[in-house]
Amino acid sequence: MFKKLAGFINKSRFAVVFYLIALSVLLFTATRMALLLTRLQLFDWSYKSVLGVFTIGFVYDVIIACFVLVPLIWHLWFLNNTMYRQKEKWWAIIFFMVLISIAAFTNLVVPRDFDKKLHWAVAGFFLLRFLLYLFLLYTTPAIKNNWRKVILVTDVVIIVFLLLFNAISEWFFWDEFTTRYNFIAVDYLVYTNEVVGNIKESYPVFWIVAAVLAITVFVVWRLRKGIHYSLQSTQSFKSRSLVAVALFALPVAGSWLIGSNLRRFSNNEVTNELAGNGIYEFAIAFQSNELVYEQFYQTLPLQEAFSILRIQLTDSVSHFVSDDVFNIERTVNYAAEEKKLNVVMISVESLSADFMAAFGGTENITPNLDSLAKESMFFRSMYSSGTRTVRGLEALSLSLPPSPGQSIVKRPHNENLFSLGSVFKTKGYATYYMYGGYGYFDNMSYFFGNNGYTVIDRAALPDSQIHYANIWGVADEDLFTLAINNIDAVNKKKQPFFAHIMTVSNHRPYTYPAGRIDIPPSEQRRGGAVKYTDYAIGKFIREAKNTTWFKNTVFVIIADHCASTSGKVKLPVPSYHIPCIIYAPGIIKPQEYNRLTAQMDIAPTILGLLKIDYNSKFLGQDIFVRDTTQEKAFVSTYQGLGYIANQKMVVLSPVRKAEMLLPDFTTGQTTTIAMDSALLKKAIAFYQCADWMLRHNKYTSK
């Protein structure tokens, strides 16, 4: 049986394709095993899980192997000697023109924010191939045969190199995020300048590429028999067509019948991730960067959802402007006199709560923040909305729960939304978003520039004021120097200001200016980056104390998200636990706030501390005027939407799934419990209504 199969393969024009399918599946399986070895303690070692991971993984691997080889299958199906005969030349030219037209169309429909270099690379690749084929049509038989071999070997080299390079990439991606490719990986292709620069600064890229090339040459040499069989095969066009159609049908039918949910067979999230295939998950993330809530998640009748939401938004200082159940706009009126105070909000990159000694951290990497916490309003139960910077920015600026798919910051048509900046602007404030990198990254400049903020990024800093920079941006101390200079300028005009400052230094490659802290930047470890950011914040506060505006300013220091979301469960609650400090000596008394708080509550709480009257559409609330029954937090991945209240967590997932979990706020472990229908309805109401308002232009500042 095996000899017959081997004989069929070796006589087939597609011999090298079958060899490459076997190589791909072997490489995908080896990658899966390597990733498993890095997370042995998080894996579910039951018989069902082990069998499921490798069986389901094998199915995905075969599907992806066939998808990856489609160009090579197409090549071997049609390119044969008859196509080089004189009478067939024009048909061949037309055939290749059709191919290049398809490639051009595919290139045009790539998302608008994709890096232009990728467009040119795709177009250039197909144009080069067309010119090569055209050259072959008008050369002698000997040259044709040699060039056919050159083209086929080149194709095999490219495919093998990309498969090996993908395995290395998956390793590094898994090491940082403990997931297969997702939206983050899609972003990595969109923002190639920052990401490629980050990779160059973080890893020995030259040696990695050199090693992959060397292995590629060895593997292609081992595949030489398959290449030879494919070139020498006399298989008829009819026979080739049957094989080609089968090879095309397998991945197409498999993707339709199986889908991405097959891998979600376990309650252990690491197990589910390992059962998948990185390239497959990348394709899914690329296709579904925005999900319509009503199509994929559990819903309520819209009127019921808004009725529940309006009850949840009711508090002692706000009143709805209309009886229209679909209108959540409220007038917010405080009895006390409005305070014309300045506000500086620092959102800190990847600052997990457990970095701080105040939360049990033992590395002493946040001495300045720990000191400030004792002099401030210190939040002990604050939770971030998501796992990316854009999720934190979305929650802090728009006061909305996370929406499924891509963050609003990066979506099209995200202009003129109701934001913290727009409220301050109506009150006569100068409003700024300040970022240490270039603002085009993650669409920050466009989003903030069109939602009530003036954007200032590293381009505003002269070289003489930059002590250090890496691919992500300037050192945090340089960003704070930029902030003080701009704040001083607006303060001279006697205008109040609101400045939202986003740090960048706590990001791989974790490098910073030397001589600032006791951890040398050459170590390139996160602890050093955290301590440097802490140093820069402390330096900024000390310098601010010497300004004329310090005594009239409220400083809000809050993380955008945690440093890691690794865990056995979908939404490990401790991985969303972040610090928040509100510091204003002489204005706000030092105190600890221990009640559950959502990141999206910060915007209305800041306005409440200043006793600002305004019309609100925020779904977050001033935590000091809400009822104790309204305490809640929102956590999310790109598809999993969590709602935490009463020590329980509702998790909403695509295909209209919902489960009730009892989370351990220390270990992150969860226990499935009976569904609390009232809590489920509240969770649905927040997520469904937020999505509906965004899609129907009801969450605008106009």
For the record, the structure tokens of 87 come out as 């009478």
Mean pLDDT of 235-254: 80
100-114 average pLDDT score: 47
pLDDT band per the 50, 70, 90 thresholds, residue 229 = confident
With a cut of 70, say whether residue 89 has pLDDT above it.
no
DSSP structure string for 593-626: E-S-EEGGGHHHHHHHHTT--EEE--SS--TTTS
216 band by pLDDT with thresholds 50, 70 and 90: very high
* DSSP classification of residue 550: G
140 has a pLDDT exceeding 60: no
Residue 50 has pLDDT above 50, yes or no: yes
Q: Can you tell me the mean pLDDT for 57-78?
A: 83
Task: Give dist(CA 142, CA 147) in Å, integer.
Answer: 9
**Averaged pLDDT, 266-276:** 87
Task: Look up residue 78 and give its two tokens.
Answer: 């049609």
Q: What is the mean pLDDT of residues 177-201?
A: 65
Has residue 691 got a pLDDT over 90?
yes
3-state class of 555 per DSSP?
Answer: strand
Note whether 567 and 267 are within 8 A (CB): no
Least confident of 235-239, 591-595, 662-666: 235-239
| Opening angle at CA 350, ends 344 and 354, nearest 5 | 100
Kindly tell me if the per-residue pLDDT of 328 is higher than 80: yes
Q: Supply 681's token pair.
A: 């309805």
Phi, psi dihedral angles at 439 (to 5 degrees) = -70, -15
CA angle, residues 361, 367, 370, in degrees to nearest 5: 70
Q: In this predicted structure, what is the pLDDT of residue 86?
A: 44
pLDDT of residue 659 exceeding 70? yes
Q: Is 60 exceeded by the pLDDT of residue 299?
A: yes
- Residues in a beta bridge with 644: 633, 649
Question: What is residue 373's predicted lDDT score, i.e. its pLDDT?
Answer: 97
In terms of pLDDT, which residue wins out, 194 or 313? 313
Task: Output phi, psi for 352, to 5 deg.
Answer: -70, 150
- Predicted pLDDT of residue 112: 40
Which band of pLDDT confidence, cut at 50, 70 and 90, is reported for residue 425? very high
* Tokens 């791909």, located at residue: 24
Best-predicted range by mean pLDDT (99-108, 155-164, 676-685):
676-685
Q: At 592, phi and psi to the nearest 5?
A: -110, 135
Whether the pLDDT of residue 303 is over 90: the answer is yes
- pLDDT for 469-504, tens place per residue? 887 789 999 999 999 999 999 999 999 999 999 999
Mean predicted confidence (pLDDT) in 68-87? 64
* Confidence check: pLDDT of 637 > 70: yes
More confident residue, 327 or 465: 327
pLDDT digits (tens, 9 = 90+) for 495-543: 999 999 999 988 888 889 999 999 999 888 999 999 999 999 999 999 9
Is pLDDT at 249 greater than 50 in this prediction?
yes
| φ/ψ (deg, to 5) at 349 | -60, 125
Q: What is the pLDDT of residue 87?
A: 45
pLDDT surpasses 90 at 558:
yes
Instruction: Give the three-state DSSP class for 652.
Output: strand
Asked whether residue 178 carries a pLDDT value surpassing 80, the answer given is no
Q: What pLDDT shows up at residue 134?
A: 60
The model's confidence at residue 567, banded by pLDDT at 50, 70 and 90, is low
Rounded Cα distance between 9 and 223, Å, is 13
| Predicted pLDDT at 270 | 87
Please say if the pLDDT value at position 321 is more than 60: yes
For 36-40, 185-189, 451-455, which range has the lowest pLDDT when averaged over its residues?
185-189
Confidence of residue 381 (pLDDT cuts 50, 70, 90): very high
Give the Å distances, CA to CA, from 144 to 72, 85, 134, 138, 243: 18, 11, 11, 9, 25
- Mean pLDDT confidence for 256-271: 81
Residue 371 has pLDDT above 50, yes or no: yes
Class of domain 294-574+609-695: alpha beta
Mean of pLDDT values over 553-576: 85
Please say whether the beta carbons of 387 and 562 come within 8 A: yes
β-bridge partners, 344: 499, 555
Residues listed for the chain:
702
Q: So what's the pLDDT on residue 111? A: 42
Give residue 556's identity as a one-letter amino acid code. V
The predicted-structure confidence for 579-619, as pLDDT tens digits, reads as follows: 999 999 999 999 999 999 999 999 999 999 999 999 999 99
Structure tokens at 12: 């087939």
Banded pLDDT at 230 (limits 50, 70, 90) = confident
How far is it, in rounded angstroms, from Cα 371 to Cα 356? 10
Averaged pLDDT, 564-577: 77
Integer-rounded Cα radius of gyration of the chain = 28
Cβ neighbours of 542 (radius 10 Å): 10
What pLDDT is attached to residue 109?
A: 42
Query: DSSP 3-state assignment of 658?
Result: strand
Q: Judge if the upstream peptide bond of residue 509 is cis by omega within 30 degrees of 0.
A: yes
Residue 533 near residue 507, CB atoms below 8 Å: no
Q: What is the reported pLDDT for 189?
A: 60
> Torsion over CA of 311, 315, 319 and 323, rounded to 10 degrees?
10
List the beta strands (DSSP E) in 264-356.
318-320, 330-332, 342-348
Looking at the chain, the whole-number percentage of residues with pLDDT higher than 90 is: 53
Amino acid identity for residue 439 in this structure: G
* Whether residue 148 has pLDDT greater than 50: yes
The helix or strand, by DSSP H or E, that contains position 38, with its residue range, turns out to be none
Q: Strand, helix or coil at 406?
A: coil
Cβ contacts of 158 within 8 Å, gap of 6 or more: none
Confidence of residue 78 (pLDDT cuts 50, 70, 90): low
Pick 595 or 406 by higher pLDDT: 595
Residue 676's pLDDT band (boundaries 50, 70, 90)? very high
Average pLDDT over residues 651-669: 90
- HEC readout, 203-227: CCHHHHHHHHHHHHHHHHHHCHHHH
Mean pLDDT rounded to a whole number for the chain: 85
**Ranges in the chain annotated CATH 3.40.720.10:** 294-574+609-695
